[in-house]
Amino acid sequence: MIDHANTDETGLMYPVQELSSVVVPLLKGVIYREENPALWNSLLNLQAAVRDYVLVLGLELTLDDSEGYAFLRSQVEADEDITTAVPRLVARRQLSYPVSLLLALLRKKLAEFDASGTDTRMILSRDEVVELIRIFLPAGSNEVKLIDQIDATLNKIADLGFIRRLRDQQQMIEVRRIIKAFIDAQWLADFDQRLAEYRQHLEPAQEKTDG
């Protein structure tokens, strides 16, 4: 029995089963080299065929070999704002201002971390995250409520795939480098202006909550 096969632009043929073993995980979410080295190697070997295959679906493959992640995105997402572009296939959602703010702060922190050249993994404690966002909230904010809100925001960001909580250390998070694919250098250049906008939106919400 002859197995059906796909052909890429080089004329090489790949069995559908082999191609599907890579495309299906991509359709489900992000592929990380460190989490599945075998799958990552298969993706690299089939990269051209994968790009051709998903192109038919109106998708494009974003792959960063140096950072070790790959995902699919709509071809029109490249020009979208962070508040609408998330690493999920098809499913897109408007991010709340607290989520967008914390993503921006974590991205800036990662840029500073990379500039220091000390390590490749940026690990932060929840207390460090609290301090990052505290200055953008009204003075005298309830500490317990603040921590609960930040925990909820971190959970949403973890669901989006931008951070992960360390096993057996739930108060510690790793900022995943895929965040760089959604907040680029130009976005960071406008960081101060964006933070001012975030603060304007957060303060009324906080006043309403306190009232």
Say whether pLDDT at 85 is over 50. no
Q: Residue 4 has what pLDDT? A: 46
Give me the CATH topology for the region 97-210. Arc Repressor Mutant, subunit A (1.10.10)
> What mean pLDDT is predicted for residues 169-188?
83
> What mean pLDDT is predicted for residues 32-51?
93
Say whether pLDDT at 3 is over 50. no
Of the two residues 41 and 98, the one the predictor is more confident about is 41
Say whether pLDDT at 41 is over 80. yes
CA distance 102 to 14: 42
Q: Are the CB atoms for 133 and 105 separated by under 8 Å?
A: yes
CA distance 113 to 110: 5
* Per-residue burial over 20-40, b = 16 or more CB atoms within 10 Å of its CB, e = otherwise: eebbebbeeebbbbeeeeebb
Say whether pLDDT at 158 is over 80. yes
CATH 1.10.10.2250 domain span(s) along the chain: 5-79
The 10s digit of each residue's pLDDT in 89-142 is 445 556 787 888 888 899 989 988 988 877 788 999 999 998 888 877 666 667
CA distance 67 to 180: 9
Say whether pLDDT at 11 is over 50. no
pTM (2 d.p.): 0.69
Q: Which of 29-33, 67-71, 91-95 has the lowest mean pLDDT?
A: 91-95
Say whether pLDDT at 56 is over 50. yes
Q: Are the CB atoms for 58 and 51 separated by under 8 Å?
A: no
DSSP per residue, 84-96: T--SSSS---PPP
For 5-79, give the CATH class.
mainly alpha
